[in-house]
Structure 1
Amino acid sequence: MTAPPASALRIGGSGVGAISILAGATGTLESVVSPTLPLLQRELSIDPGQGALLSIAMLITGALTAPIAGVLGDRHGGKRVLIWLMVVVSAGGLVSSVAPNLPVLLAGQVLEGAMVGAMPLSFILMRKLLPADRSPVAIGMISGFFVGGGMLGTLIAGPIAEGLSRHWMFAVPTFAIIVATFLVHKLAPDDPPSRTDARIDWPGVALLSGIVLTFMAGLATAPDMGSQPLLLVGVVVLLAAFVTGWIAVERRAAAPMFDLRLLATPAIWRSYVVTFAVCVGAALSIFLVPQLFAVSGDGYGFGASPTDIGRYLLPAAAMAAISGPLSGLGVRRFGASTVVAAGIVLMTASLIGMALVHGEIWHLIVGKALISLANGACITALVIRTATSVDHGTTGTATSLVLVIRVLGFATGAQIGGAVLTAGTPAGSEVPAESAYVTALIIAAVVSALSLLAIRTMNKGATHEPS
């Protein structure tokens, strides 16, 4: 690994705080669509299929933007690219806030998706401008604010949309992003480029985009694959073709988007596997728990209103907010692998607990809070693990792929949850059977637990294990 840059220690607590606030504001804007999707479908007169497109538009563009942002940050400096990226995100938020119809709102969401690239740029800044013993805690704080902002958006979107209008639920976090971006511009120092030779590998970006889009399309059409086996074959063949092409291009590229030799090291690829599994488990809980609060089924559910659900999820938001800094401290003291393993055990136990015991509201409140804590701690530790396992010049590129995998994991978990509930809904009813929720939570627990198999050897091939 290259030596830390001479500019280390140039950023102070106010600069780290400004970047953390920006992460929280972007996390809030990212999450406002999901809890208000029924309201948006009603007000914009769109069907569930169009609603599904709206719910994943930002995820898709974010997954495609993150690798490009990481390379640009490595080449031109993290702060400069971060500021320009936030200009795009702010424009998207403003477009979404005034959107009169679905096409305009989709355009706003596409622009907002650029926010996913902000995280690797923030990690570039922390590694460049802080010493090695302080950067894990700072990365943890930024990750925690982003996760906490996401939970805050879930909490406030419904009340703002119902009390004011759907326009204000986009406008409020956008204004916060604009203010936070100004603070970052004033309080964070400029960082020098890590790789002056870094170039955007456009063929690699195009093929990775094909992988992501095909994967998302496969998830969206999964319910029809049972009756249309040729559709499944087509998706698998197309996905395999994109993956094969991407590997071939990256091997031959003079400046590949991602060094496949690095991807082949256990420290990196096992981190990606664990990231995907943890996000699948967390996404299932995010999808299922609010519906369990709201459903009024036969002998289960609580018939909660959107405002009630927001109050019930408040402890989970608090746990998400503190998970990042706690994870950063834990990584510095015990190592990333230990923190990830502890988080997976806690998440698995909480998922099983909710599957078996969910007869009272507090059961779900406690379970969801513990899952939020575990998920935030795991993802933060995995990001730190990845960032500190590569050279300073590839921090943005390596961590951006973590965020791509995070998006794919959350999308997969949500689709699994939807498929299980749909299959578990009795004929002639619109309410899934209680057993469907139990099955989905058990699936989430199993997927999370299986990721422990990758933890034991995750350190092999590592350049550095934070301690």
Structure 2
Amino acid sequence: MPVQPTPSEGSSVTPGATTSDDHQRVWTPRLVLGLVSIVLLLEVLAISYLMISTALPFIVTHYQTTQGAWLLTAFLLTGAVTAPVIGRLSDMFGKRRLLLACVALAAAGCLLSAIAPSYGVMIAGRALAGFLVPCLFLGYSLIRDVFPPKAVALAVSIATTGMGLVAVPAPFLTGWLIDDFGFRSIFWFLFAVVVAIGFAILVTVDESPLRVRTTVDLVGAVLLGAGLAGVLVGVSFGPSWGWTAASTLTYLLGGAALLMAWLVSARTVAAPLVDLDVLRRRPVYLTTISAGVAYGISGLFAVLLPMMVMVPGIMGLGYGWGLSAEDFALFQLPMVIAIVAGGLLVGVLVSRGFAPRLLMLAGLSLMAIGMLVVAFNHSEKSTIILGAVILGLGQGMSYAAVPNLVIEAVSPTLQASTASIVAVSQSIFPAVLSVVAFTVLNNSHVAMVAQGATFYDSDGFTVAFVIGAIVSVVGALTALAMPRRATDEIAETAGVLGAA
């Protein structure tokens, strides 16, 4: 029988909070509707990224900015900083309650972006919408607590990659909204859908019975958030401010100092934002790294792809076909189908005993191959589609492997808080990779600026995709290094910690 790790220092489990009653449950119509509600919410999280990426060329042109990466970075940075806090609060007050609170804040962010008069307000709205990010781990952690045990592996795979109900038609919906109503319609649509799904979850999903008595490390949250923001601002604006400028160095060094202060704080408080003792366990930190890589690569590809194919071919940049948003939907469809197929494949294989770490290894390897295919030939549509399909299959497999790895690695009482550690990585990696890619492009690969829009040369995209491929390989090697039996590793580490 697997050894259950004890709660981190400074926390305790509420007596009587078990899932024994849930183990006797069978599938009911309400349970099915609850799963559909969670699936739709998490698909909205996924397609919101797709929608914003597709609308990115229109948004940066409208506001005449070269800092398009911050549309995604602000969203992800909020997710990275709030995920551990939300994880702690959900352990204390209930996962469903915190899920609904995040949905309400995200809806407010979508509304703010829809009416944004300036790019700064647009970024503020996107930052608030970042409360959708914690919904990912809250969703599958809630499933772990209230769904029949035999259905958990398939249910979390469906929840994190979707059933195609929204993902497949999403590109066509995105194209129609942008081409016919402008980029603001994307945010109005997301606002309405998030509100509707929040109500559905309210009436169809049960609350988790698990509770943990703990505290919330607000100081750690401020230090981590400010540190990450400082470093990313310095990296983003370094090319335009100058790498040796006082402003650049202030943000970079100040951000680094705050991150160091956060590490010190995490070692001194009773219940830190991120439990470093849990994080240092081999299954946990390797899962955290590989999950971050998977999300980082998919986010980078989502940003770069529309920027290439929607550029008019007559500009002579060596890429681009001037696709409209609706044309781009058809172009992207094979990749979306591959993502859904990869996720469902993992759900089936895990339920039949396949090791999630091997599926993560396969997924990240496919993502590396897809990146390389596009890196060295992005002048032909067929090659880009091939690379996108390969990457999409790997993305679906990697995304679905993550929650199964987390469930395998930790006890139910630490599910949400540990998953929140992984969620930090899932937010930081795409935020950092997007900023790095734009920094490289803006620093030495600007081909021309026309009507407020910046266009990059072909070599710049090659470099960006190669960077993605290298990071994917690192993630694959990390998955390969995972222990064959995570519970054995946890038992060994827990014994060492107990002895200490």
- TM normalised by structure 2 equals 0.82
Tell me the equivalent position of 1:223. Answer: 239
Alignment of 1:317-466 (within 5 A): 317-332=336-351, 333-422=353-442, 423-425=444-446, 431-459=455-483, 462-463=486-487
CA deviation after TM superposition for structure 1 residue 48, in Å: 0.8
Distance 1:189 1:464 in 2: 32
The code of the aligned residue for 1:336 comes to: P
Tell me the equivalent position of 2:493. Answer: none
Distance 2:184 2:413 in 1: 40
Tell me the equivalent position of 1:209. Answer: 225
The code of the aligned residue for 1:459 comes to: P
CA deviation after TM superposition for structure 1 residue 281, in Å: 3.0
Query: Retained in 1: the 8 A contact 2:103–2:198?
Result: yes
Distance 1:409 1:68 in 2: 19
Alignment of 1:65-464 (within 5 A): 65-102=82-119, 104-145=121-162, 156-195=173-212, 197-224=213-240, 227-228=243-244, 234-235=250-251, 237-295=253-311, 296=313, 297-332=316-351, 333-422=353-442, 423-425=444-446, 431-459=455-483, 462-463=486-487
CA deviation after TM superposition for structure 1 residue 23, in Å: 1.5
Secondary structure of the 1:134 match is helix
2:34 equivalent to 1:20: no
Alignment deviations for residues 264-321 of structure 1 (CA, whole Å, 9 cap, x no partner): 1111111222223333433332233223323323554333233222210112122223
Query: Retained in 2: the 8 A contact 1:389–1:464?
Result: no
CA deviation after TM superposition for structure 1 residue 227, in Å: 4.2
CA deviation after TM superposition for structure 1 residue 338, in Å: 0.4
Distance 2:277 2:463 in 1: 39
Distance 1:408 1:236 in 2: 16
Secondary structure of the 2:162 match is helix
The code of the aligned residue for 1:6 comes to: S
Query: Retained in 1: the 8 A contact 2:299–2:434?
Result: yes
CA deviation after TM superposition for structure 1 residue 55, in Å: 4.3
* More divergent stretch after superposition (415-424 vs 446-455): 415-424
CA deviation after TM superposition for structure 1 residue 189, in Å: 1.7
Distance 1:51 1:432 in 2: 13
Distance 1:133 1:238 in 2: 49
* More divergent stretch after superposition (307-316 vs 219-228): 219-228
* More divergent stretch after superposition (339-348 vs 58-67): 58-67
CA deviation after TM superposition for structure 1 residue 51, in Å: 4.8
The structure-2 alpha-carbon separation of the partners of 1:300 and 1:107, relative to structure 1 and needing over 3 Å to count, comes to closer
The structure-2 alpha-carbon separation of the partners of 1:255 and 1:394, relative to structure 1 and needing over 3 Å to count, comes to same
The code of the aligned residue for 1:206 comes to: V
Query: Retained in 1: the 8 A contact 2:69–2:438?
Result: no
Distance 1:428 1:105 in 2: 22
CA deviation after TM superposition for structure 1 residue 150, in Å: 7.2
The structure-2 alpha-carbon separation of the partners of 1:18 and 1:7, relative to structure 1 and needing over 3 Å to count, comes to farther
Secondary structure of the 1:57 match is helix
CA deviation after TM superposition for structure 1 residue 435, in Å: 3.0
Distance 1:200 1:272 in 2: 21
Tell me the equivalent position of 2:11. Answer: none
Secondary structure of the 1:48 match is coil
Query: Retained in 2: the 8 A contact 1:211–1:242?
Result: yes
Distance 2:342 2:293 in 1: 18
Tell me how many residue pairs correspond in the alignment.
462
Query: Retained in 2: the 8 A contact 1:7–1:129?
Result: no
Structure 1 unaligned regions, length at least 5: none
Distance 2:266 2:143 in 1: 28
* More divergent stretch after superposition (303-312 vs 231-240): 231-240
CA deviation after TM superposition for structure 1 residue 184, in Å: 1.6
The structure-2 alpha-carbon separation of the partners of 1:322 and 1:177, relative to structure 1 and needing over 3 Å to count, comes to farther
The code of the aligned residue for 2:330 comes to: R
Alignment deviations for residues 127-185 of structure 1 (CA, whole Å, 9 cap, x no partner): 11134443222111111039996786565334313312444322223222222222222
Distance 2:163 2:261 in 1: 34
CA deviation after TM superposition for structure 1 residue 261, in Å: 0.9
CA deviation after TM superposition for structure 1 residue 237, in Å: 3.6
The structure-2 alpha-carbon separation of the partners of 1:464 and 1:119, relative to structure 1 and needing over 3 Å to count, comes to farther
Tell me the equivalent position of 1:64. Answer: 81
Superposition CA RMSD, Å: 3.1
Structure 2 unaligned regions, length at least 5: 6-16, 490-500
Alignment deviations for residues 309-353 of structure 1 (CA, whole Å, 9 cap, x no partner): 221011212222343332233333311110011112211222222
Identical columns (%)? 24
2:8 equivalent to 1:8: no
The structure-2 alpha-carbon separation of the partners of 1:225 and 1:398, relative to structure 1 and needing over 3 Å to count, comes to farther
- TM normalised by structure 1 equals 0.88
Query: Retained in 1: the 8 A contact 2:179–2:326?
Result: no
